[in-house]
Chain A
């Protein structure tokens, strides 16, 4: 029963800055009881709150003494144990049924946009009501993205295996959808699209190893296609799908298919590929800025402006965190390991610098805190088949879709202390 003297402090639930002696065998619940007793002693109207504890930025997940043994912390010294209010479990909200596999999802405050393997993109309300089914692609829709949202009309994008990206205008009031532009130029299925911060450009990555940057502003003019001498049958199709648009720029450098793309900055694109690299591009010049080399195929990449880290999901069990600004190129900061299948999709929390969500082929969606890299905060095991996409909105909504044709929504209450963090 080693003597552990701890200094405990917090922002909201502040207690006196006095070292306490805690039994070494105590677990989270014991420590939590201790804090609650202290708080109750200081203020009469205190309600019981569950806490989580951090030692040197690592979550305490086992008895204190074992944790300290693992981390090589001496039990003789005063150890600072930080505590935060325990994150509540995500609350399941909706389960939206689709007709086919869900390849991609992106949600805003009001609407959820999903791409589906039945060659359509679909708009749903947050309550799970089908609002709009956008049909137009001749192949599987692989990715969708919102461009702009007004109360009257919305602009949205859908990328498909038929090598095109379609820019749609959705009139909310009339609930009508119209294909404004058909972005042609890729020679393989378009796997991923990302809209930049100014909402005027977007980037697409494809199986033909190319990244292409397009304008997202609707115009009335049609760009001239170089291969205009196509057969008339094909021409007819394009007429239905709106005006043809050609790319502003093409970024080539990957040697395999591009699987995921995002704008990490106003003028910087980050792309993950099957050639085991994540590349950072300068949009202005079209140059390659740096390359992060892994040793597995990358399925998905996500960037958090809060902590300036990249999270990548690849064709193994690990989620890896990268520092895109590291000069030596391939520094993996941290691996989060708990999945048992490929990690198909990762997404950072837009509001919390430590949290991210990941979906995997082992049918489980996991909610992670980077301070606890051995075990996730929560497992969301609702899917019955492969999880293909996840999303996290600013309002605290977790979305995941997969091969079981279901889109699950969870409400994740972000505690006030998290926002403060």
Chain B
């Protein structure tokens, strides 16, 4: 029991009791009084006018200063008595306040744990304390039953999920967090060299001219971005004048630093090139010039070869058509026709011996009289067996039989057009013949039937300047190449089937694969477009091997070869394998550049043609020769 801390009356005059109670005395901070006495009079705060010096002097002089405390309630100074000081000391030590209290009095053991020889009760142990409890047994059997029935699980299955897991194990590196991983280390700074020294060797100092040159250079072009300077000692080195500027530029650099990391794909450029077989694995193809067919005196515009492959016919600007023996380059016949031969076509039917040629405005049908006598005899008979229909039909052209003199030279029929004829081509069966007229009207393309001497104009409207036409080798399709497009018409249904975009400026020539599903187009802008008709109306591949305009393209009838002739005087032979498997795209490999023709008048090769059975290619040039490459 603590004795109440009663303020001892320091003087009998003053019994000041503050009646405000246990309140924070700060409330009276701003007031002159500090509370109220028993009579309800204000207790005023004692006047404290001691300055620091007075305080210090008092501290030094008053021996009881250390036991003087201020009474918060009255604001008066109280001097603690010795008992009070002693009590404070005891409390500070954690001892009981009462001096006389003994915390270590001896304990009296009322309820002992020791077994006494004379127990309070001598009752024997209950039976139930040593036989199994029925209640417990019942409880256990209930639990066992519940476990057997699966109502309760005997042991909780252990939770395998780890308590801790790798938070970033499956993180997407491209996500925002993943970006932190891609730390781009700052490039290493170059270590300072001699020129950065405050006292560099004299060879590092710039001379006057060098300094002038340095000043005239663009800041980005300078090799050094400072001028090396020499100082006597380190003390003489001034503050770095460009410090702020440099920090600023550094901040600008950081601001403009690309934050996007450029992912470089590690690809060997060789892998991007498609794997093409080596040309020598694609034999046979023509490789060397074997024969030159000389005789024409002007440029040879067109070539055609007999279906047997024994004869070659060529038309030239010198107004003649020449027939050659393929194997010896012997000119067997020369037929003057009196005009530039623009196009020539040997009838592809092996049972008919007939050559169609376009001279000015006339298409001439010529029996060359070469090969089997029976065949060309039969051809003549076939032409003579024509009986004119009773009523004259209106035709866009005029059919005329040749005069006796012309007949002797081999000419059988004239088909007189109204405009110059550009091209003639036969249908595969050898009865129909298509001709292209240089015209802008709808009369550009005409189809003639030789046996009936009947011509018709298949198109009502002109779709542009027709460059060349072609019959499909198997199906009743007809290809018309205008300057930029190739239109495929179905002759039976008489409708447009397809329109192929060539991506070329000006188509010059066209050839069809013997299978009939692939077309190549040569153009004057030195491109060759390969179309897969099943694939798309755009080129499957665009080959730009020639340096100048392409004049002619050709397919081989059996071998997977195609060739193109160009104004640069070369013939390029390519391997063009078409697979029966629809899933496999054609394989195009350029295999050989054949040179030989001399470029004259800026014209090189004017026509190319494959031998029908051998892997040989003929080319006719502006130099008046025909060359055979084998």
How far does the Cβ of B610 sit from chain A's closest Cβ, in whole Å? 14
B330 engages A117 (CB within 8 Å): yes
How far does the Cβ of B353 sit from chain A's closest Cβ, in whole Å? 12
How far does the Cβ of B616 sit from chain A's closest Cβ, in whole Å? 8
How far does the Cβ of A199 sit from chain B's closest Cβ, in whole Å? 29
Query: Known: A256-B613, A297-B614, A315-B630. Is A189-B310 also a contact (CB below 8 A)?
Result: yes
A184 to B235, CA, bound (A): 123
A207 engages B310 (CB within 8 Å): yes
B613 engages A274 (CB within 8 Å): yes
Contact partner of B290 (CB less than 8 A), chosen from A187, A189, A256, A361, is: A361
Of all chain A residues, the one with the shortest Cβ separation from B616 is A315
A162 to B370, CA, bound (A): 9
How far does the Cβ of A183 sit from chain B's closest Cβ, in whole Å? 15
Contact partner of B614 (CB less than 8 A), chosen from A187, A274, A361, is: A274
List, in ascending order, chain B residues with CB within 8 A of A299's CB: 327
A388 engages B328 (CB within 8 Å): yes
List, in ascending order, chain A residues with CB within 8 A of B327's CB: 259, 299
How far does the Cβ of A253 sit from chain B's closest Cβ, in whole Å? 16
A207 engages B630 (CB within 8 Å): no
Of all chain A residues, the one with the shortest Cβ separation from B613 is A256
Per-residue 0/1 for B295-328: is the Cβ within 8 Å of any A Cβ (1 yes, 0 no)?
A: 0000000000000111000000000000000011
B584-630 residues with Cβ-Cβ distance < 8 A to A are 613-614, 630
Is the C-beta of A316 less than 8 angstroms from some C-beta in chain B? yes
Is the C-beta of B281 less than 8 angstroms from some C-beta in chain A? no
B387-446 residues with Cβ-Cβ distance < 8 A to A are none
B373 engages A162 (CB within 8 Å): yes
A207 engages B308 (CB within 8 Å): yes
Is the C-beta of A303 less than 8 angstroms from some C-beta in chain B? no
Is the C-beta of A386 less than 8 angstroms from some C-beta in chain B? yes
A188 engages B290 (CB within 8 Å): no
Contact partner of A316 (CB less than 8 A), chosen from B291, B330, B613, B630, is: B630
Contact partner of B329 (CB less than 8 A), chosen from A187, A188, A386, is: A386
A167 to B373, CA, bound (A): 20
How far does the Cβ of B327 sit from chain A's closest Cβ, in whole Å? 8
Per-residue 0/1 for A245-258: is the Cβ within 8 Å of any B Cβ (1 yes, 0 no)?
A: 00000000000110
Chain B contact residue count (CB 8 A cutoff): 20
Per-residue 0/1 for B325-367: is the Cβ within 8 Å of any A Cβ (1 yes, 0 no)?
A: 0011110100000000000000000000000000000000000
Query: Known: A207-B308, A257-B310, A386-B328. Is A295-B283 also a contact (CB below 8 A)?
Result: yes
A259 to B327, CA, bound (A): 10
Is the C-beta of B374 less than 8 angstroms from some C-beta in chain A? yes
List, in ascending order, chain B residues with CB within 8 A of A341's CB: 290
A315 engages B373 (CB within 8 Å): no
List, in ascending order, chain A residues with CB within 8 A of B268's CB: none
Query: Known: A274-B613, A295-B284. Is A163-B328 also a contact (CB below 8 A)?
Result: no
Is the C-beta of B371 less than 8 angstroms from some C-beta in chain A? yes
Is the C-beta of A392 less than 8 angstroms from some C-beta in chain B? no
List, in ascending order, chain A residues with CB within 8 A of B374's CB: 187
B291 engages A361 (CB within 8 Å): yes
List, in ascending order, chain B residues with CB within 8 A of A297's CB: 614, 630
How far does the Cβ of A342 sit from chain B's closest Cβ, in whole Å? 6
Chain A contact residue count (CB 8 A cutoff): 26
Is the C-beta of B372 less than 8 angstroms from some C-beta in chain A? yes
Provide the main secondary structure of the chain B interface: loop
B290 engages A315 (CB within 8 Å): yes
How far does the Cβ of A261 sit from chain B's closest Cβ, in whole Å? 16
B330 engages A342 (CB within 8 Å): no
Query: Known: A297-B614, A361-B290. Is A187-B372 also a contact (CB below 8 A)?
Result: yes
How far does the Cβ of A248 sit from chain B's closest Cβ, in whole Å? 22
B373 engages A163 (CB within 8 Å): yes
A187 to B372, CA, bound (A): 5
A236 to B310, CA, bound (A): 28
B372 engages A208 (CB within 8 Å): yes
A342 engages B284 (CB within 8 Å): no
Per-residue 0/1 for B270-289: is the Cβ within 8 Å of any A Cβ (1 yes, 0 no)?
A: 00000000000001100010
List, in ascending order, chain A residues with CB within 8 A of B373's CB: 162-163
List, in ascending order, chain A residues with CB within 8 A of B613's CB: 256, 274
List, in ascending order, chain B residues with CB within 8 A of A342's CB: 290-291, 630
A163 engages B372 (CB within 8 Å): yes
How far does the Cβ of A185 sit from chain B's closest Cβ, in whole Å? 12
A259 to B309, CA, bound (A): 14
List, in ascending order, chain B residues with CB within 8 A of A140's CB: 330, 332
List, in ascending order, chain A residues with CB within 8 A of B310's CB: 188-189, 207, 257
How far does the Cβ of B180 sit from chain A's closest Cβ, in whole Å? 67
A257 to B372, CA, bound (A): 13
How far does the Cβ of A188 sit from chain B's closest Cβ, in whole Å? 6
List, in ascending order, chain A residues with CB within 8 A of B308's CB: 188, 207, 257
List, in ascending order, chain A residues with CB within 8 A of B330's CB: 101, 117, 140, 403
A342 to B283, CA, bound (A): 18
A299 to B291, CA, bound (A): 14
A388 to B328, CA, bound (A): 8
List, in ascending order, chain B residues with CB within 8 A of A274's CB: 309, 613-614
Per-residue 0/1 for A237-278: is the Cβ within 8 Å of any B Cβ (1 yes, 0 no)?
A: 000000000000000000011010000000000000010000
Interface-centre pick from A259, A274, A388 (highest chain B CB count, 10 A): A274
A188 engages B614 (CB within 8 Å): no
A207 to B206, CA, bound (A): 92
A108 to B178, CA, bound (A): 98
List, in ascending order, chain B residues with CB within 8 A of A188's CB: 308, 310, 371-372
List, in ascending order, chain B residues with CB within 8 A of A361's CB: 290-291
Of all chain A residues, the one with the shortest Cβ separation from B310 is A207
Chain A residues with CB under 8 Å of chain B are 101, 117, 140, 162-163, 187-189, 207-208, 256-257, 259, 274, 295-297, 299, 315-316, 341-342, 361, 386, 388, 403
A–B Cβ pairs within 8 angstroms, 23 of them:
A101-B328, A117-B330, A140-B330, A162-B373, A163-B372, A187-B374, A188-B372, A189-B310, A207-B308, A207-B310, A257-B308, A257-B310, A295-B284, A296-B284, A315-B614, A315-B630, A341-B290, A342-B630, A361-B290, A361-B291, A386-B329, A388-B328, A403-B328
With A187-B374, A341-B290, A388-B328 known, 13 other A-B pairs at CB within 8 A are A117-B330, A140-B332, A188-B310, A188-B372, A189-B371, A207-B310, A257-B308, A297-B614, A297-B630, A315-B290, A315-B614, A361-B291, A403-B330
